[in-house]
Chains A and B, each alone.
Chain A
Amino acid sequence: MRRYAALRLAQAAGVLWAAYTVSFLVLDLLPGDPVSAMAGQGADQAGIDPAQIARLKSQYGFDEPVPVQYAHHLGRALRGDLGDSVSAGRPVTSVIGEALPSTLQLVVAGLALAVLLGGGLALAATYTSRRWLRQLLLSLPPLGVSVPAFWAGLMLVEVFSFRARLLPAFGNGGPRGLILPAVTLAIPTGAVVAQVLAKSLLTTLDEPYVQTARAKGAGRPRIHLRHALRNASLPALTVVGVLVGQLMANSVVTETVFSRNGLGRVTAAAVTAQDIPLVQGVVVFGALVFVLVNLAVDLLCPLLDPRIAAAGGRRWSPA
């Protein structure tokens, strides 16, 4: 188990470093540099002193050759410094840190709702013996993944805020203001959870050990929840890592729809302002969350299925 954990940890660090490198390379392809963009803001570009632009460029290190910049940036990133945001003029880490709590709230609420709704739907669909009900329940997840998340959010606002006047449409107003954004986030994610869990539950219920449990006289709820669910939840657990990344990314759209402050709004604003250090910071942060969640999932999986730690192999083994 310890060797398994160490292996996972090393892999996680490697992925994080590579994600930093990828984001650096992608954003380095940018034709214009952010200092010129910043100088062009507000005033006309022509009115700016070229010497000042050069000074700014050297202040941010844009005048050095790319490998030097990379080494410099990586060294700083290792010490937890992702540079200064061009538009905010503050360290990227503090901008992200400030925006994070509200987004974290949203993502956690969205994930909880997605697991609850998606899991409940999958359990109900596989438990019921009425054919029409099962068909109806199983037709919902494909619908959920086909609907644009931002559109679903707008429709929720239309129905619950403007028509029924039940919930606030905009802003960060407390727990009541969290409901609609969380539901919006949960729709596509919950649909995926439901699809994966329903599929694996259906295959698990055909396993011989389920038949054995049935032959021994265990009741249906017990078989469903104790015998089948535990084994069937492994595939659903492994997609959670991907889903948390998806939730974080969808928060960009959701926060825009609901005018909530948070990491998503910061990201959208950073892209609009071509604030490269900030965009890079967000990308690296997204990868960090993905890696951490997957690490947690990887360490959790052996608890559900001890065979995994014994094999110790790569989870993403080829086919």
Chain B
Amino acid sequence: MSSTLDALGVLDAADGPGVPEPAARRRAGAARTVRFLLRRPGLVLSVLVLAAVALASFWPGLFTSRDPLTGVPSQAFRAPGAAHWFGTDELGRDLYARVVHGAALSLKATLIAVAVSFAAGGLIGLLAGFAGRWIDDVLMRCVDVLLSIPALFLSLALVTALGYGTVKVAVAVGVASVATFARVMRSEVLRVRQAVFVEAARSCGTRWYAVLGRHVLPNAIGPVLVLATLDFGTAVLAVSSLSFLGYGAAPPAPEWGTLISDGRNYLANAWWMTALPGLTIAATVLATNRIARALDGERGRR
């Protein structure tokens, strides 16, 4: 994991004499970043795709001026073309507008899911790793149990208990990956806790919460953030699976998974209603996975 530390600039901390001026270093760093990105067009594309998805979910008006909910019946089942980029559905609604407006719902659900697993899993891992002894044992046995239930089954059980809706589905998806976050957080905390600077801080009489907040947490959070990026893609898939099964937003709302399950009924005569929303999901997930891989050390390994 030293690659991650390097990427976060932790290992650069040891400045000494003979190191160039900060301004010159910054310029060299910028040039290096540009060169790094130029050699990886896929990464640049991934960032652009994610940026587009984020923009679409906050300002869908930037991408389309059509209404996703009202259709023109005479224009039903139009194939993709200049007038309708993604074609139209059975009610003559513009599919492109529906995908763009669906980004908000899908992204919201995904962010909630990642936030839930990041916060809960991180907290459990932090507590287990830092407290140690029996607290660690008890918490980690619980995590093992959560891991033993397949994620989708756990989500489905939670959906049964909580009910339907975008937010509930998001929470269900988030809880299902709490265990992974707890694992990674704990192992990072354990690793950092043994570092010399933590021992030094302790021996200076620093309070435990200061050790935790100032020394352990900033140094342990890196891999967990990488995991969060990776989990973003997984959560997009899980949320779309659950909304495909019909547990997500109520019908007229254009959630991505719901769009695909709507299109399924017309698969034989309108392939675009299924194919294009699916491609959007795949592109989003692919982009986040690519970025997660870049964060996880490709930059540091350079």
Contact A280-B157, Cβ < 8 Å, known A151-B274, A318-B187: yes
- Given A27-B161, A155-B274, A319-B187; A287-B149 close (CB under 8 Å): yes
B285 contact set on A, CB distance < 8 A = 145-148
For residue B260, CB closer than 8 A to chain A, the reply is yes
Taking a contact as CB atoms closer than 8 A, the residue among A15, A145, A274 that contacts B145 in the complex is A15
CB of B237 within 8 A of CB of A148, answer yes
CB distance from B236 to the nearest CB of A (A): 8
Number of interface residues of A (CB under 8 A): 56
Among listed B76-84, B209-217, B239-247, interface-contacting one: B239-247
Contact with B along A137-174 (1 / 0, CB 8 A): 00000110111111100110110001000000000000
- Chain B interface, >50% SS class: helix
Say yes or no: B161 contacts A286, CB within 8 Å. no
Residues of A within 8 A of B271 (CB): 158
Given A148-B278, A155-B274, A155-B275, A253:B150 Cβ within 8 A: no
Q: How far is the CA of A22 from the CA of B156 in the complex (A)?
A: 13
Interface centre among A27, A146, A250, by most chain B C-beta atoms within 10 angstroms, is: A146
For the complex, is B141 an interface residue (Cβ under 8 Å from A)?
Answer: yes
Q: Is the CB of A27 within 8 A of B157?
A: yes
Q: When the two chains form their complex, are residues A249 and B153 in contact, meaning their CB atoms are under 8 A apart?
A: yes
Q: Is B159 positioned at the interface, with any CB of A under 8 Å from its CB?
A: yes
Chain B residues with CB under 8 A of A279: 156-157, 160
Q: State A252–B155 Cα separation when bound (angstroms).
A: 12
Q: Is B50 an interface residue (CB 8 A)?
A: no
**CA–CA, A319 and B160, complex, Å:** 34
A221 to B186, CA, bound (A): 41
B176 to chain A, nearest CB (A): 10
- Cβ contact within 8 Å between B245 and A27: no
| Beta-carbon contact of A146 and B157 below 8 Å | no
Closest residue on chain B to residue A319 by CB atoms: B187
A276 near B: Cβ within 8 Å?
A: yes
A27 to B285, CA, bound (A): 31
- Residue numbers in B under 8 Å from A30 (CB-CB): 160-161
Are A146 and B286 CB-contacts (below 8 A) given A30-B160, A249-B151, A276-B160? yes
How far, in whole Å, are A16 and B144 apart by their CA atoms in the complex? 11
With A143-B286, A162-B267, A280-B157 as contacts: A291 and B237 at CB distance below 8 Å: no
CA A219 to CA B161, docked complex, whole Å: 59
Bound-state CA distance A106–B57 (Å) is 38
Answer yes or no: A23 CB below 8 A from chain B CBs.
yes
Across-interface contacts of A272 in B (CB, < 8 A): 246
The distance in angstroms between the C-alpha atoms of A308 and B268, with both chains bound, is 53
Is A256 an interface position by the 8 A CB rule?
yes
A15-43 interface bits toward B, Cβ cutoff 8 Å, 1 = contact, 0 = none? 11011001100111111000000000000
Q: Is A267 on the interface with B (CB-CB < 8 A)?
A: yes
A143 to B285, alpha carbons, bound, how many Å? 9
Instruction: Answer whether residue B8 sits at the interface, using C-beta atoms and an 8 A cutoff.
Output: no
Chain B, residue nearest A32 (CB)? B163
| Contact in complex: A252, B260 (CB < 8 Å) | no
- CB of B278 within 8 A of CB of A256, answer no
| Residues A318 and B190 in contact in the complex (CB < 8 Å), given A22-B146, A146-B233, A151-B274 | yes
Is A271 positioned at the interface, with any CB of B under 8 Å from its CB?
yes
Q: Which of B157, B163, B263, B274 contacts A283 (CB 8 A)?
A: B157
Residue of B nearest to A29 (CB): B161
Query: Are B191 and A319 interface neighbours, CB within 8 A?
Result: yes
Residues in chain A near residue B289, CB distance under 8 A: 142, 145-146
| Residue contact A316 to B157, C-beta cutoff 8 Å | no
Q: Is B38 an interface residue (CB 8 A)?
A: no
Docked complex: A221-253 residues within 8 A CB-CB of B: 242, 245-246, 248-250, 252-253
Which of B156, B190, B285 has the most C-beta atoms of chain A within 10 angstroms of its own C-beta? Answer: B156
A280: B residues at CB distance < 8 A: 157
Given the contacts A19-B148, A26-B157, A256 and B245 also touching, CB distance less than 8 Å:
yes
Contact of B149 among A27, A142, A155, A290 (CB under 8 A): A290
Return chain B residues, CB-CB under 8 Å to A148.
237, 240-241, 244, 257, 260, 278, 281-282, 285
16 contacts between A and B (CB under 8 A): A15-B144, A142-B286, A148-B285, A155-B274, A242-B147, A245-B151, A245-B153, A248-B153, A252-B245, A253-B241, A253-B244, A271-B159, A279-B157, A287-B149, A290-B148, A294-B148
Q: A26-B161, A287-B148 are in contact. List 14 more A-B contacts (CB 8 A).
A: A19-B148, A27-B160, A146-B285, A147-B278, A148-B257, A150-B241, A150-B260, A246-B152, A257-B264, A270-B160, A274-B160, A283-B156, A290-B148, A318-B190
The 5 closest A-B pairs by CB, nearest first: A249-B152, A319-B187, A151-B278, A245-B150, A18-B145
- Which residue numbers of B lie inside 8 Å of A, CB to CB? 140-142, 144-154, 156-163, 186-187, 190-191, 233, 237, 240-241, 244-247, 257, 260, 263-264, 267-268, 271, 274-275, 278, 281-282, 285-286, 289-290
